[in-house]
Structure 1
Amino acid sequence: MTAFRQTAIRSNLMRRARIINDIRTFFNRSGFLEIETPVRIPAPAPEAHIDAQESGAWFLHTSPELCMKRLLAAGYEKIFQICRCCRQGERGGRHLPEMTLVEWYVAGLDYLFLMHQCEALIQFVADGLELNRMLTYQGQAVDLTPPWDRMTVAEAFQRFGGMAVQTALEKGCFDEVMGLAIEPQLGLTRPLFLYDYPASCGALARLNPDNPDVAERFELYIAGLELCNAFTELTDPVEQRIRFEKEQRDRKAAGKRVYPVAEPFLQALTHMPPAAGNALGIDRLVMLFCDAATIDAVVAFTPEEL
């Protein structure tokens, strides 16, 4: 009899289905409208470190962000989407070139509100799995009881990185220090929101009006695993265009493809209200709740099996 990998992970896939159902229930009960936007788009957001998968002359979206913000501009106030997203070159124990995200936006609120909402969402999922607010991941016990810890990026670099964040930026080693020295130390006993990233690390985020050196952005870490990326959204079309142009220059300098301009998105920003948005990786959330060491253990098919 043929041995199927999928047979061995059946319990994980069953738990995955339950988690996705609970995520949908959470947003439905919170008054959000579930929407769908096209997966294939003519122009992705030109972020220097994210490469979109080409699909003919267009691209598979790396995130539904641009289309969802256009819905905010059209008057939708609370929206969410569970969808597949694609990014070239992302493959490893925690990465897939095709992933599942839940992305949501709220008008009139900021990234601090989203921290509380993110707590509530994950606690709702944990309660549905009857975990009693205690999670064990790869031998590490994590207490999910709120409020969760918060730490600025500047504090994290001083405490775990051995240097100031500005020094890391000047030396061009920000991502390396973050990935190797800082991230493995985050959220080990309690979930942790890492927030206030350097302004250069938030291409679509609003700068903090009291400290324009930082962007109003956070990421959530549980047991050293990054789960989400959230912003108070930039709504100034002029500033957004300037940032996109910088990202395009960075892509060109790195020998990467320069993307077409997302003109309908930039035009819609003129009408977009103040808002905040969050993208949370469902695959990684399932990894946590299944105590799975690799992302392969929580997906029905890996790229290598196709």
Structure 2
Amino acid sequence: MSPQPPAPVPQASVADRLPLLRRRAMLVRGVRGFFEARGYLEVETPFAVRTPGEEVHLHPFATKCLAPDGTSERLFLHTSPEFAMKRLVAATAQPVFQLARVWRNGEAGPLHAAEFTMLEWYRPGAGLAGLMDETEALLRALLPPMVERDGARCRIDAPFERLTLQEAFARHTGADLLATQEDAPALARQAGVRLRDGEGLRDREGRGETWEDLFFRLLLSHVEPQIGRQRPTFLTHWPAAQAALARRDPDDPRVALRFELYACGLELANAFDELTDPAEQRARFLHDRARRAALPPPVPGWTVGEWPMDEALLAALQQMPPCSGIALGFDRLVMLATGAARINDILWLGGAR
């Protein structure tokens, strides 16, 4: 017999959850007021797109756009508005923000929904330090001075911690992260763990746990549970292999100018000092496509396949000014503000499950 999907967790009625939902509406107004006061322009970008994103481990929803003449075009619900918003920054050189609905197939749980709200903003001329300052100001404007979750009491009114991944791994695993880049056995030895070699970890080429696999295992098991507990933590300067759409640090090419934000055990945001070199970005996209193709499908029979390269984005990068941008999970921010235990508690009609 095929495994049965897990039963959905019963959700309280809209009436019972109305105090949480009213707080959500207040936070939406607060976000708009914060960014409008800082000169940002609120924008809207298409949700159904030809290229949903290039992140290796995200799975999009696919659909078709039917034309009156009977032809059709395959489209996807975007996993982030990032590509479209960068095109707008390139076209206008304006700071922009958006509260966007985004879709990520296969995501469900207390902290995940397949459809959720992403707050993204991009500021030309800002570096990561300035973006961290602005993110701190946003959280202080929207959240109470102290938030609590899962036994952690996190002070929003205290200066946020800024910790490099190199420092975090040294502190919580004992490993020299940058010296062991792409050397999984060395990272495992220094962290005092064994490399896994289970069948479920093997990719289509038969390889077991890679350096990237181990990096994320240690991040999830050793680092993330220890940070952002007493005050929010910016985890900065990611290994170059995890640069995604971020610039490499000109002072240390081993790392990328990227940060993630954690508070009370929740990962809240991911930010880049944006890469504006179209040739390098194309090479990274091609590399990510090859990595994605080597992975086993998320479920048997998964056949979404590839999509066109976003040539409009790559062309726009040539005109985009120096810029930093950030994606913040708005629903998780609402969870912190309200004390809600599950993401479905603060969605108006709940998620798909």
Q: Same fold (TM over 0.5)?
A: yes
Q: Distance in 1 between matches of 2:295 and 2:242?
A: 17
Query: Alpha carbons of 1:171 and 1:48: their partners in 2 closer, same or farther (altered >3 Å)?
Result: closer
Which runs of 5 or more residues in structure 1 are unaligned?
none
2:228 paired with 1:180: no
2:105 paired with 1:97: no
> 1:134 offset after TM fit, Å?
2.0
2:149 paired with 1:137: yes
| Counterpart position of 2:141 | 124
Please report the RMSD computed on the Cα atoms of aligned residues, expressed in angstroms: 1.7
- Deviations 1:100-135 (CA, angstroms, capped at 9, x unpaired): 011000111111111000000011112xxxx3x222
Q: Distance in 1 between matches of 2:265 and 2:229?
A: 6
Runs of 4+ displaced beyond 6 Å: none
Equivalent AA in structure 2 for residue 80 of structure 1: F
Select which of 101, 104, 108 maps to 2:125: 108
Select which of 219, 242, 255 maps to 2:283: 242
Verify the 8 A CA contact 2:158 2:231 in the aligned structure 1: no
Select which of 40, 55, 61 maps to 2:63: 55
Q: Tell me, what secondary structure is at the counterpart of 1:82?
A: strand
- Deviations 1:4-39 (CA, angstroms, capped at 9, x unpaired): 532221111111111111011100111100000000
> 1:171 offset after TM fit, Å?
6.7
Equivalent AA in structure 2 for residue 23 of structure 1: V
Q: Percent identity?
A: 42
2:325 paired with 1:277: yes
Find the structure with the greater CA-based Rg: 2
| Counterpart position of 1:8 | 16
TM-score (norm: length of structure 2)? 0.81
| Counterpart position of 1:150 | 162
Q: Distance in 1 between matches of 2:310 and 2:342?
A: 35
Verify the 8 A CA contact 1:138 1:292 in the aligned structure 2: no
Counting matched residue pairs gives 298
Q: Tell me, what secondary structure is at the counterpart of 1:271?
A: coil
2:205 paired with 1:193: no
Equivalent AA in structure 2 for residue 219 of structure 1: E
Query: Alpha carbons of 1:96 and 1:206: their partners in 2 closer, same or farther (altered >3 Å)?
Result: same
Q: Distance in 2 between matches of 1:4 and 1:86?
A: 23
> 1:64 offset after TM fit, Å?
0.6
TM-score (norm: length of structure 1)? 0.93
Equivalent AA in structure 2 for residue 73 of structure 1: A
Q: Distance in 2 between matches of 1:158 and 1:239?
A: 30
Query: Alpha carbons of 1:200 and 1:259: their partners in 2 closer, same or farther (altered >3 Å)?
Result: farther
The 5-angstrom pairing of residues 287-306 of structure 1 reads: 287-304=335-352
> 1:141 offset after TM fit, Å?
1.8
